[in-house]
Amino acid sequence: MDIQIITREGEPEYAVLPWAQYQALLKAAGIEPQPPRAATARPAATPDQILPGLDQLRSLREGKGIAIEALARTVGISPSYLALIESGERQPDAAIRRSLAWELTVPGWRDES
Protein backbone atom coordinates (compact mmCIF):
# COMPACT_ATOMS: atom_id res chain seq x y z
CA MET A 1 0.00 0.00 0.00
CA ASP A 2 1.23 3.48 -0.85
CA ILE A 3 0.39 5.45 2.29
CA GLN A 4 1.69 8.89 3.16
CA ILE A 5 1.60 9.76 6.86
CA ILE A 6 1.24 13.44 7.73
CA THR A 7 2.33 14.40 11.23
CA ARG A 8 1.78 17.43 13.39
CA GLU A 9 3.99 18.07 16.39
CA GLY A 10 5.58 14.66 15.91
CA GLU A 11 2.30 12.73 16.09
CA PRO A 12 0.55 11.08 13.11
CA GLU A 13 -2.50 13.13 12.14
CA TYR A 14 -3.53 11.99 8.65
CA ALA A 15 -2.97 9.02 6.39
CA VAL A 16 -3.19 9.67 2.66
CA LEU A 17 -3.54 6.83 0.18
CA PRO A 18 -4.50 6.41 -3.47
CA TRP A 19 -8.23 6.45 -4.21
CA ALA A 20 -8.30 2.88 -5.56
CA GLN A 21 -6.68 1.57 -2.38
CA TYR A 22 -9.14 3.54 -0.26
CA GLN A 23 -12.04 2.04 -2.21
CA ALA A 24 -10.56 -1.46 -1.71
CA LEU A 25 -10.32 -0.84 2.05
CA LEU A 26 -13.97 0.23 2.14
CA LYS A 27 -14.99 -2.87 0.24
CA ALA A 28 -12.94 -5.12 2.57
CA ALA A 29 -14.63 -3.47 5.57
CA GLY A 30 -18.05 -4.22 4.09
CA ILE A 31 -18.81 -0.60 3.30
CA GLU A 32 -20.23 0.19 -0.13
CA PRO A 33 -17.63 2.32 -1.97
CA GLN A 34 -18.92 5.76 -2.91
CA PRO A 35 -18.30 7.42 -6.26
CA PRO A 36 -15.98 10.43 -5.99
CA ARG A 37 -17.78 13.71 -5.35
CA ALA A 38 -16.99 16.82 -7.28
CA ALA A 39 -14.54 18.90 -5.29
CA THR A 40 -15.57 22.35 -4.23
CA ALA A 41 -12.93 24.57 -5.70
CA ARG A 42 -12.22 28.17 -5.01
CA PRO A 43 -12.44 30.38 -8.06
CA ALA A 44 -9.33 30.26 -10.19
CA ALA A 45 -7.46 33.44 -10.86
CA THR A 46 -8.05 35.00 -14.22
CA PRO A 47 -5.01 36.17 -16.22
CA ASP A 48 -6.02 39.82 -15.92
CA GLN A 49 -6.57 39.56 -12.17
CA ILE A 50 -3.77 41.08 -10.10
CA LEU A 51 -2.66 38.59 -7.46
CA PRO A 52 -0.53 39.38 -4.44
CA GLY A 53 3.05 38.11 -4.48
CA LEU A 54 4.88 36.36 -1.70
CA ASP A 55 6.42 39.73 -0.88
CA GLN A 56 2.96 40.67 0.44
CA LEU A 57 2.58 37.56 2.60
CA ARG A 58 3.20 39.35 5.91
CA SER A 59 0.72 42.13 5.15
CA LEU A 60 -1.90 39.58 4.02
CA ARG A 61 -1.44 37.59 7.23
CA GLU A 62 -1.50 40.66 9.45
CA GLY A 63 -4.49 42.07 7.57
CA LYS A 64 -6.45 38.94 8.46
CA GLY A 65 -5.31 39.18 12.07
CA ILE A 66 -3.48 35.84 11.99
CA ALA A 67 -0.45 35.38 14.23
CA ILE A 68 2.66 34.02 12.52
CA GLU A 69 2.66 31.03 14.90
CA ALA A 70 -0.96 30.17 14.08
CA LEU A 71 -0.47 30.35 10.30
CA ALA A 72 2.76 28.34 10.47
CA ARG A 73 1.08 25.65 12.59
CA THR A 74 -1.88 25.45 10.22
CA VAL A 75 0.36 25.20 7.15
CA GLY A 76 2.62 22.65 8.85
CA ILE A 77 5.86 24.61 9.00
CA SER A 78 7.77 26.30 11.80
CA PRO A 79 7.17 29.97 12.62
CA SER A 80 10.85 30.68 11.96
CA TYR A 81 10.59 29.17 8.46
CA LEU A 82 7.46 31.23 7.78
CA ALA A 83 9.34 34.33 8.92
CA LEU A 84 12.09 33.49 6.41
CA ILE A 85 9.48 33.16 3.66
CA GLU A 86 7.90 36.48 4.65
CA SER A 87 11.29 38.22 4.62
CA GLY A 88 12.10 36.79 1.18
CA GLU A 89 15.08 34.76 2.44
CA ARG A 90 13.43 31.46 1.49
CA GLN A 91 11.13 30.42 -1.37
CA PRO A 92 8.50 27.85 -0.34
CA ASP A 93 7.79 24.80 -2.46
CA ALA A 94 4.53 24.47 -4.38
CA ALA A 95 2.75 22.57 -1.58
CA ILE A 96 3.49 25.27 0.99
CA ARG A 97 2.47 27.99 -1.49
CA ARG A 98 -0.86 26.22 -2.08
CA SER A 99 -1.42 25.82 1.65
CA LEU A 100 -0.61 29.48 2.34
CA ALA A 101 -2.91 30.55 -0.50
CA TRP A 102 -5.68 28.36 0.90
CA GLU A 103 -5.33 29.63 4.47
CA LEU A 104 -5.15 33.27 3.37
CA THR A 105 -7.96 32.79 0.82
CA VAL A 106 -5.76 33.95 -2.06
CA PRO A 107 -6.79 32.29 -5.34
CA GLY A 108 -3.14 31.73 -6.30
CA TRP A 109 0.32 33.24 -6.32
CA ARG A 110 1.98 34.80 -9.31
CA ASP A 111 5.34 33.36 -10.30
CA GLU A 112 8.22 35.25 -8.76
CA SER A 113 10.69 34.34 -11.50
pTM for the predicted model, two decimal places: 0.52
Question: 4-37 burial, b if ≥16 CB within 10 A, otherwise e?
Answer: eeeeeeeeeeeeeeeeeeeeeeeeeeeeeeeeee
Intervals of the chain under pLDDT 50: 45, 47-50, 110-113
- Does the domain at 54-104 match CATH 1.10.8.80? Answer given as no
Domain ranges of the chain: 1-35, 54-104
- pLDDT for position 70: 94
Summarised one tens digit per residue, pLDDT across range 63-78 is: 999 999 999 999 999 9
